Amino acid sequence: MLNKPDMMVNTTPISSQPLVTVLMGVYNAATYLREAIDSIINQTFTNFEFLIYNDGSTDATAEIVRSYTDPRIFFFDNPINRSVSPNMNEGIERAQGRYIVRMDGDDIADPERLAKQVAYMEAHPEIGLCGSAVRYFGASNALIQMPENNDTIQHTMWLQNSFYQPSVIIRTSVLLESRLRYDVRYEFAEDYKLWSDMCAVTQVHNLPEPLLNYRIHPHQISRRQSLSQQQVSAQIRKEQMNRLHIHLRPEQEGAFGLLTIDDGWRDLEPTDYREIATLLDDLGAQAQHLVIATDVVNRVMAQQWGRILGAARQFRPALVPFILRQPMCNHLPIMLVTKLLMKCLIRWKIAD
């Protein structure tokens, strides 16, 4: 049974069926929520409805949402915390738009975001899911470019989540016709699971322009639940590998865990690095045999290899052969390789 919208928000129907449904889930988001909502209601594209689901917040989240009188906002104030998936699935069932745009309560959308994403989807009916580059702000500042074309994304979703959830626009018909929803069994990585499932039934894309300002702060779910998220993501990667006929041998399971979960990266031993490197070689060889874009795969694997090497608690000469190992080294930025080698030379270590 679907929840009824909170009647304290103006729920007068908008004049015609909206082209877009903006779907936002919030939980104790009061600190940043007004900025997020304002960035949506002030979009240059105006033909949308805005569904906001409050997941049992105990702060001023509900009061902030109720302070808006924009008739496009529909507020669903759940008294208990149900987690992301049930709320977003209810929003999918209720959505009237041809497209569903996801948004979080702590980020800021570019004013042209909806206009540009809708224009792209209208011009490319074969695309069922489209994200964009994002710009970090807050505790970190960086422009994050995502893989753009369908083939690259399809061939590397087993290595990484190629979409930022609050950057995506979804063709609603793809979800309905393929009966795809957020899966509650994949909590903390439910978005990665949904995008992976969509890759099996539709083409996907990322726009190169940053259309979302993605806030980095210590209260993000992805930071609070980092280990759980990585463990669930590792399971999704295995499922994607099976879809592409890339297989792990039983003796590689340990190395795969080290590759995908950063909990122990600071204290890896040379034998651990050797096992991970051997696994990467094998995965690259399988990708090449299956005519998957080897250069793209090696580049993504090298990024993970660079993160693993850079996380070491103490650098020592024994790491040098792993830093220079081919083909990974060829795909690492020269500045990173130089930095890692210099740390080995001076035996740099993290202060206790």
- Tens digit of each residue's pLDDT (9 = 90 or more) over 287-346: 888 878 888 889 899 999 999 999 999 999 999 999 999 889 999 999 999 999 999 999
For residues 38 and 1, what is the distance between their CA atoms, to the nearest angstrom? Answer: 30
Q: Is the pLDDT of residue 213 over 60?
A: yes
Question: Interhelix angle for 270-289 vs 253-260, to 10°?
Answer: 100
- Given this model, what pLDDT does residue 221 score? 56
Determine contact, residues 155/211, Cβ cutoff 8 Å: no
Cis peptide before 71 (omega within 30 of 0): no
Q: Give residue 14's pLDDT band: very low, low, confident or very high (50, 70, 90).
A: very low
Question: Is there a contact between 10 and 67 (Cβ–Cβ < 8 Å)?
Answer: no
The bridge status of strand 99-104 relative to strand 169-171 is antiparallel
CATH fold of 20-220 reads: Spore Coat Polysaccharide Biosynthesis Protein SpsA; Chain A (3.90.550)
pLDDT bucket at 50, cuts 50 / 70 / 90: very high
User: 240, 170 in Cβ contact below 8 A?
Assistant: no
**Cα-trace Rg, the chain:** 22
The C-alpha atoms of residue 30 and residue 106 are separated, in whole angstroms, by 9
Specify the DSSP class assigned to residue 28. Answer: S
Contact 59, 30 (CB under 8 A): yes
pLDDT of residue 189: 92
Distance CA 262, CA 57 (A): 30
- What is the identity of the amino acid at 105? G
Structure tokens at 186: 């994949």
Query: Which residues contact residue 150 at a Cβ distance below 8 angstroms, ignoring those fewer than 6 apart?
Result: 127, 203, 204, 205
- Spell out the domain ranges in the chain: 20-220, 245-346
pLDDT category of residue 107 using cuts at 50, 70 and 90: very high
Residue 173: C-alpha distances to residues 11, 31, 177, 300, 306 (Å): 25, 35, 6, 31, 39
> In the block, which residue shows the tokens 């069922």?
128
Coil/strand/helix, residue 173: helix
pTM, 2 dp = 0.87
* 252 or 261, which is more confident: 252
Are 140 and 227 in contact, with CB atoms under 8 Å apart? Answer: no
- 3-state DSSP call for residue 255? helix
Q: Is it the case that residue 220 has pLDDT exceeding 80? A: no
